[in-house]
Amino acid sequence: MRTNKWVWDWFAKGYAKAPVADEAAYQEKLEITRTYLTPDSKVLEFGCGTGSTALAHAPYVDQIRATDVSRKMIAIAQSKADAKGVNNVLFEQVDIESLDAPDGSFDMVMGHSILHLLDDKEAVLARVHDLLKPGGVFVSSTVCLGNSFWFIKPFLMVGRFIGVLPLVRFLDQDDLVKSIEDAGFEIDQNLAMSQEKVAFIVAKKVA
């Protein structure tokens, strides 16, 4: 999952205050996701950050289990839930590999702004597949820079080396789709959003 956990603790307060980069696209993704939800849905979100997406979907489902490796991200998320009186979202500090949940536990798994930050996304995709019920849905939103912004790669590598920046992978949307399909999913929706730098993908576990 996300490495250098203290880096995400350090980012947490600023992350919580930062506005959504593309509010219209974010709302569109929420609406699309809700077409796959029911009042009985049991949902997992890994890499939930400060909990905004989990809390936005909470009224439409039975339960959401929202996880992140950052203690401070989870603390902020819980405070937001408490302020809103939301009691069907369980926030936990844990990575998806260590999550205590049987296979087939969830109707939906969400992973937003996380796949490009993983040490081993194939292992995580396999774990997501296992955690879903047959016919369950994986919803992801991923920055796919491809060869864009190549000039910042050395800066990111140095920051990663000295421990002040996280791992950031420059993914290609087509390659990401193939990785999801190779994990045993069928792609239901594959959209390029926010000036084609974000891949919003809905994939179903083959029943």
Render pLDDT for 33-55 as a digit per residue (tens, 0 to 9).
999 999 999 999 999 999 999 99
Q: What does pTM read for this prediction?
A: 0.86
- DSSP characters for 130-191? HHEEEEEEEEEEEE--TTTTGGGHHHHHHHHHHTSS-------HHHHHHHHHHTTEEEEEEE
Confidence of residue 7 (pLDDT cuts 50, 70, 90): low
Render pLDDT for 161-206 as a digit per residue (tens, 0 to 9).
445 445 667 789 999 999 999 999 999 999 998 765 899 999 999 8
Averaged over 85-102, what is the pLDDT? 96
Q: 5-205: what CATH class?
A: alpha beta
Residue-range domain boundaries for the chain: 5-205
First CA to last CA across the chain, in angstroms?
27
Averaged over 109-135, what is the pLDDT? 95
Determine the Cα–Cα distance for residues 167 and 3; give it in Å rounded to an integer.
7
Averaged over 1-6, what is the pLDDT? 53
Determine the Cα–Cα distance for residues 107 and 94; give it in Å rounded to an integer.
20
Q: State the residue for tokens 């576990």.
A: 205
